[in-house]
Each structure stands twice: as C-alpha cells, then as structure tokens.
Structure 1
Amino acid sequence: MPARLKPAAAADVADALDRVRTEEPSKADLRLLTKHFLAVLEQRAPGRSVEVRVPPYAAVQCIEGVRHTRGTPPAVIETDADTWIALVTGALTWPEAVDQARVRASGERTDLSAYLPLLAG
C-alpha cells in the first residue's frame, strides 16, 4: 500500500502559490502544490470510493462510500496539475472545469463541488 500524502509546510505552499500566480510554475512547485492539496482533500473527504489522479504527481482515494481495493476504481477523477491548482484555489469552479473538459470524471460521487475550493480566501 502506498504511503499517504502529507500536507506541505505552510510557508512552502505560500511561496509556491506566489510563484504560480506571478510566473511560470516550475515542476517542483506543481509537484509540491499537487501533493499538498491532494493530501488536504484526503483529510477533508476521508474514504476510499473515489480516486483523484493528477498525473504524473500523485493520486489519492477519498470520499465515503463503497471501498475500492483492487483494479480500476469504479469512480475516477483525472486532471492535470494546472487545473487541479486552479480548482483548489478557487480560480476555476468544478462546473467550469467539467464544461471545458479540463477534468475527466466517471462513476458515482465524482462531483467535487462540495469540497472545492480547498484554499480559503
């Protein structure tokens, strides 16, 4: 079983978010923010019924429901790092991302509107 993701230090997240907002983000910034916010989602929406994937950086299982243990999960959300960061910071809403085909979501419980944005203010 893969190790659980852990939120990053607040100062590191703030620095990476500043760079993302003001310049071209580095792969290190995208990796840090992606893993951080997936860890936050996993904490705020515990469970194993939906897998959220942000390749190539990480994936988590979250949201209460039927537990997934092997093979392809019945509910999968996949997006890129730029879209994930826009969603968790509130720069993009879930309906906008779906309408623009910036996320792929299939299965039950794959509407993350109730959990996003993850970053207050």
Structure 2
Amino acid sequence: MARTIDTAAGRAALTAVADARATGDKPARTELATAVRYLLQLLDEKAPGGTVEVRVPPFGAVQVVQGPRHTRGTPPNVVEMDAATWIAVATGIEAWADAAASGRIRASGTRADLDGLLPLRP
C-alpha cells in the first residue's frame, strides 16, 4: 500500500459509500477508492505476509497472509473482485462463500480463501 489511510478518513469513506448505496446513488469515485484502500489496509494489518495477492481493480492490491513470499510473475494465490464485492465481504454485508459461489470473486491457489479473515472490523 502506497500511503496509509487514517481511521477517520477510512470510516468516513465507508459511511459515504454505504449512504450512497442506501439511497440508490452511485458512490463518488474518490470515496469508493478510499473505502477500498482502507479495507485492503486493514486486511494487510490483520494478516501481513506475501502469500496471497488481493486485487480490487482499479483501486488497489495488497499481498497478505504468512507463508512463502511471492516476488516475480503472477502470484500462485490470487483473489480478485470488484469494489462493491470487496466492500460487501470485507464489512460482513455479504458472506465470502455467497460472493464466491455467485462468481463475483475470482480466487486461484490453495491459500486464496479469505473466509477466515473476513469480515474486517473497520
């Protein structure tokens, strides 16, 4: 993660995204980006490491989970999803298993199941 997002800014962005969705509006791109990056930061703090790469394009990616560190090429354990799905599973609005079963989470590798790490507590 390039820069650290403080807790107040991260929580404010999550609230703004939730409020926009509750009213049927599209969240502002900057708030969506901040919310995604804040949650990725929390995941990195909870499960530091370099075994699994979690990607939420175009907003961010982080390598997490202890184990063999990946340094070149495509990582063997990759999780990718859109911003809305990431926010939903990271905050507990939706279960990991449900999002994965619906095909909104693309996960490959033997360590790419983040169910035990989610939801995060922002």
TM-score (norm 2): 0.89
SS of residue in 2 equivalent to 1:47: strand
State the alpha-carbon separation in 1 of the partners of residues 4 and 103 from structure 2.
28
The percentage of aligned residue pairs carrying the same residue is 45
Relative distance call for 1:116 and 1:7 in structure 2 (3 A) is farther
Aligned 8 A contact 1:47 1:61 in 2: yes
Query: Where do 5+ consecutive residues of structure 2 fail to align?
Result: 21-25
Matched with 1:62 is 64
Matched with 2:74 is 72
Q: Is the aligned partner of 1:81 residue 2:83?
A: yes
SS of residue in 1 equivalent to 2:94: coil
Query: Where do 5+ consecutive residues of structure 1 fail to align?
Result: none
Matched with 1:94 is 96
SS of residue in 2 equivalent to 1:87: helix
RMSD across aligned positions (CA) = 1.4
Give the paired residue count.
117
**1 or 2, which has the higher helix percentage?**
2
Matched with 1:103 is 105
Residues 5-14 or 58-67, more deviating: 5-14
After superposition, give the CA deviation of every residue in 1:82-107 in whole Å (9 maximum; x if it has no partner). Answer: 11011111101110110111100000
Cα distance, 1:18 vs. partner? 2.0
Matched with 1:11 is 8
